[in-house]
Amino acid sequence: MFSYFILFMSSFLAATILPFYSEVVLYAMYKQGDPGWLLVIVATAGNTLGAVVNWVLGRYLLHFQDRKWFYFKPAQIEKSRKWFQKYGVWSLLFAWLPLGGDVLTLIAGIMKVRLPIFLLLVGIGKSLRYIFVIYLSAWMMSLI
């Protein structure tokens, strides 16, 4: 049971701005014989909840833009807004991407995407990612 907590936390951390990889934990657990469907559910839940942290940060981030320590420049924020307006809420299906996915969830918060829509689209994308990892793991294990 503790291993599922480790999977959940690694998936959670992987969805935040921290560099972390949950696929290694998922693969190891699958290789040990844990059921793929359960691993997908746990990893998706953790990864989606981690994305919600980014969404919340984005939602309230602009309240601090007048502070010296604020990381983003107004031009960066405006560029991100325009990009999100161009590609729309459906781009959240790609929040699983290793490069840009975390920023995408942050931008969704800045753009005030409604949480239910955010959860649905991000959850679908992230679950498909973990399903792919399970199928890839099964294929790799069949070669051995």
Residue 85 tokens, joined:
């307006």
Instruction: Report the 10 Å Cβ neighbour count for 78.
Output: 10
**Which tens digits make up the pLDDT trace of 95-135?**
988 777 888 998 899 899 999 999 999 999 999 999 999 99
Distance CA 132, CA 111 (A): 29
Confidence band of 80 (pLDDT split at 50, 70, 90): confident
| Token code pair at residue 127 | 């679950």
Mean pLDDT of 70-99: 85
The Cα 2–Cα 132 span in angstroms is 24
What is the model's pLDDT at position 50?
A: 95
Entry pTM: 0.88
Angle of CA points 11, 116, 1, to nearest 5°: 30
pLDDT at 60: 87
pLDDT in tens, 18-30: 778 899 999 999 9
What are the two backbone dihedrals, phi and then psi, of residue 67, each rounded to the nearest 5 degrees?
Answer: -85, 150
Q: Name the nearest CA neighbour of 124 among 53, 48, 58.
A: 48
Percent of the chain having pLDDT more than 90? Answer: 60
